[in-house]
Amino acid sequence: MKKVGELIRRTPITVQPSDTLLDVIDKLAQHEVGALVVVSPAEQRRPLAVISERDVVKALAMRMPLTTPVEAFMSTRLITISPEEPVDKAADLMITNNIRHLVVVDPDGSLRGVISIRDVLRALRT
């Protein structure tokens, strides 16, 4: 079974809590990813939250302006995993928490990357 760390394919795309939903939309579209990691300006390697396509859609459904700050809609209940964990642990976390992305953090809590449910399915099949 592959380890979670092997599934990380790029440096994580981040935003700051004071950035806007439009910033999020632009970054999601530009990098073709489904979620961004929210970090504070002071500590760029420490993940605070995640903001996903789903969070943006929820904001849109409430007719929130695209100038709304990220911190209003980000998910602060951060679900993280260590790069050393097996992929089936990642699948378990995604299913039980009904999420499509996990933030991968090193033992010291610093941001390593993000894995998606698509990455997990690919790894479980091979």
> Footprint of other proteins on this chain (CB under 8 A)?
1, 22, 25-26, 28-30, 34, 53-54, 56-58, 60-63, 66, 88, 91-92, 94-95, 98, 100, 117-118, 120-122, 124-125
C-alpha neighbours within 13 Å on the C-beta side of residue 5: 9
Spatial CA neighbour of 12 closest among 33, 41, 40, 43: 33
Q: Which is nearer to other proteins, 30 or 42 (CB)?
A: 30
- Cα gap 5→104, rounded to integer Å: 8
- Cα gap 21→42, rounded to integer Å: 21
Q: Which is nearer to other proteins, 98 or 107 (CB)?
A: 98
We find the least distance from the C-beta atom of residue 95 to other proteins, in angstroms, to be 5
We find the least distance from the C-beta atom of residue 44 to other proteins, in angstroms, to be 24
